[in-house]
């Protein structure tokens, strides 16, 4: 259906660089012709439904699990009504955080947000798509002279927007809703596949590092809950008996002289089996400190906080590199006895099995050096460690290729949806005939909203930023 779409028969110049050529019969008006900026403070109505503009758009704040920072006093919050457009017009260079939303029910939001109320006829859903497209293309921070990180409500209302006839606005919304349903269903199917494959990976790793590769091996109890039974000739050992552990250097900005600057890794740079080395920060690591706080090829890095236990091997991507206090460095006490990549897989199994959970969900989990050194793992002989590594690298490699392909497909589908919305709401594609042929569809239940993941060039999922706070 999308491949059959064609441009409109004739176009005219809109006079606005961000709109370019628009269909001949569309009007071009400033935003204030359609909307006005309205601000009504909540005063003492603290029992109103609290809304928030996050990565997921406009959401309800559950008092027991709020999306952002919820204050005790709502007097400075402003009233919003269903159908309002809401904008956050600061920090515009950060395109990873949603800045445009369509209010889904009456409620209150932070006074940091801009509320536009419609006062001329139009389909508000069409204008939401158009304003969101302008945001995604970085138009807002290009208004005026140079790049601006903040614009005012007047700047927004003085922007030119394109206005198709009202029936065409509704047809565009109907077409985009239909296309989005199809894309969303395909994305969900790929996400389900990825989840199943990740569960399969965890099961394969867990079995290999707790039972080995021989299905007929005699087993004995390990005495460790998450490990269960293990081959009877394997040894159960606390980590301190097999590996040396070192926590990285604490960053102290007051002591940075700039004389011994070296790049260093942070918690966020260490993902499962992957270390990011692009655009690393630097800090002073003195020559006599480098043996302690710099890495050697084969070192295993383990996250002390965040996703506790997340780890990866350092393969010498940089000649010299340090690591911050949020990371543990592990080195085998006897390299002829222990292979760090085997321990990586053991840590993966332990983390996914909840071995590092401290049982206190209300506090931020931390894996201190004492705790890490005290954890016990099952250790086979070194030659069997190598065999397990080879087996897992091969088996998981095939699964990872499938996961990477699925994630790339999801990323492409997100790009397709963004491009389609842009082309349709700016009049680059004529959807009138296609929309008229669409079948009647009952509203599709919306799933629980989730942030759309971003992906690196190799298809690996990046860590998601935290939800945006509702107080600016």
Q: Say what the pLDDT of residue 464 is.
A: 37
pLDDT band at 62 (very low <50, low <70, confident <90, very high): low
Report the C-alpha gap between 108 and 171 in whole angstroms. 31
pLDDT band at 443 (very low <50, low <70, confident <90, very high): low
Domains 27-163 and 213-379 share a fold: yes
Mean pLDDT estimate for the chain: 87
Q: Which is nearest to 353 in space by CA: 240, 227, 463, 236?
A: 227
Please spell the DSSP secondary structure of 69-131, one letter per residue. Answer: ---S--TT-EEE-TT-EEE--SSTT-TTS--EEE--SSEEE-TTSEEEEE-SS--HHHHHHHH
As a whole number of Å, the CA-based R_g of the chain is 28
Alpha-carbon distance of 268 to 274, in angstroms, equals: 11
Of residues 167 and 357, more confidently modeled: 167
Contact (CB, 8 A) for 114 and 153: yes
The SS3 assignment for 256 reads coil
With CA atoms as reference, report the closest residue to 313 among 303, 323, 300. Answer: 300
pLDDT at res. 196? 97
Please name which of 368, 371, 373 lies closest in space to residue 326, comparing C-alpha atoms: 368
Task: Examine the pLDDT at 275 and tell me if it is beyond 50.
Answer: yes
* DSSP letters spanning 312-359: EE---SSSS-EEBTTEEEEEES-TTT--HHHHHHHHHHHHHTTTT--S
- φ, ψ of residue 94 to 5 degrees: the values are -90, 90
Strand order in the sheet with 322-323: 282-284, 261-265, 322-323
pLDDT tens sequence across 309-329: 999 999 999 999 999 999 999
Structure confidence at residue 469 as a pLDDT band (50, 70, 90): very low
User: For the domain bounded by 213-379, which CATH number is listed?
Assistant: 3.90.220.20
Task: Give CA–CA dist 149/92, Å, rounded.
Answer: 5
d(CA 63, CA 50): 9
pLDDT per residue as tens digits for the range 358-377: 655 445 578 999 999 999 99
Q: How confident is the model at residue 457 (pLDDT cuts 50, 70, 90)?
A: very low
The answer, yes or no, to whether residue 430 has pLDDT greater than 70, is yes
Domain boundaries, the chain: 27-163, 213-379
Give me the CATH code for the 27-163 domain, please.
3.90.220.20
> Does the pLDDT at position 73 exceed 50?
yes
User: Per residue in 92-123, pLDDT tens?
Assistant: 877 667 689 999 999 888 888 899 999 888 99
* SS3 category, 411: helix
CA distance 397 to 197: 12
Supply the DSSP symbol for 253. G
What is the model's pLDDT at position 177?
A: 93
Q: Whole-angstrom Cα distance, residue 196 to residue 205?
A: 14
């Amino acid at each position: 259906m999308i491949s059959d779409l064609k441009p409109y028969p004739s176009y005219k110049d809109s006079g606005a660089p961000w709109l370019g050529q628009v269909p001949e019969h569309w009007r071009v008006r400033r935003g204030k012709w359609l909307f006005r900026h309205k601000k009504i403070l909540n005063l003492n109505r603290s029992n109103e439904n609290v809304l928030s503009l996050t990565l997921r758009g406009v959401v309800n704040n559950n008092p027991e699990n709020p999306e952002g920072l919820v204050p005790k006093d709502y007097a400075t919050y402003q009233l919003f009504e269903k159908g309002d457009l809401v904008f956050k017009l600061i920090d515009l260079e950060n395109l990873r955080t949603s800045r445009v939303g369509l209010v889904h029910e009456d409620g209150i939001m932070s006074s940091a947000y801009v509320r536009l109320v419609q006062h001329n006829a139009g389909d508000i859903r069409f204008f939401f798509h158009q304003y969101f497209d302008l945001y995604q293309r970085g138009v807002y921070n290009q208004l005026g002279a140079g790049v601006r990180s903040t614009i005012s409500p007047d700047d927004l209302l003085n922007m030119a927007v394109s206005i198709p006839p009202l029936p065409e606005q509704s047809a565009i919304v109907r077409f985009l809703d239909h296309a989005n349903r199809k894309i969303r269903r395909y994305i969900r199917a790929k996400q389900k596949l990825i989840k199943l494959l990740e569960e399969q990976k965890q099961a394969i790793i867990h079995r290999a590092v707790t039972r080995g590769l021989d299905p007929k091996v005699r087993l004995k109890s390990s005495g460790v809950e998450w490990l269960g039974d293990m081959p009877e000739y394997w040894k159960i050992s606390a980590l301190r008996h097999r590996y040396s552990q070192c926590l990285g250097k604490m960053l102290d900005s007051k002591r940075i002289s700039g004389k011994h600057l070296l790049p260093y890794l942070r918690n966020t740079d260490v993902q499962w089996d992957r270390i990011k080395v692009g655009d690393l920060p630097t800090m002073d690591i003195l020559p006599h400190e480098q043996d302690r706080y710099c890495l050697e090829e084969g070192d295993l890095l383990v996250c002390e906080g965040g996703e506790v236990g997340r780890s990866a091997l350092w393969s010498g991507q940089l000649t010299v590199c340090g690591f911050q206090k949020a990371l543990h460095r592990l080195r085998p006490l006897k390299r002829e006895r222990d292979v760090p990549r085997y321990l990586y897989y053991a840590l993966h199994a332990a983390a996914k099995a909840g071995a590092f959970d401290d049982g206190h969900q209300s506090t931020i989990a931390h894996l201190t050096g004492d705790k890490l050194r005290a954890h016990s793992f099952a250790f086979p002989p070194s030659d069997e460690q190598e065999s397990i590594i080879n087996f897992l690298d091969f088996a998981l490699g095939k699964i990872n290729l499938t996961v990477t392909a699925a994630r790339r497909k999801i990323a492409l589908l997100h790009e397709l949806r963004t491009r389609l919305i842009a082309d349709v709401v700016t009049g680059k594609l004529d959807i009138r005939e296609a929309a008229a042929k669409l079948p009647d569809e009952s509203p599709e239940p919306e799933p629980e909203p989730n942030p759309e993941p971003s992906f690196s060039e190799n298809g690996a999922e990046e860590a998601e930023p935290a939800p945006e706070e509702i107080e600016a």
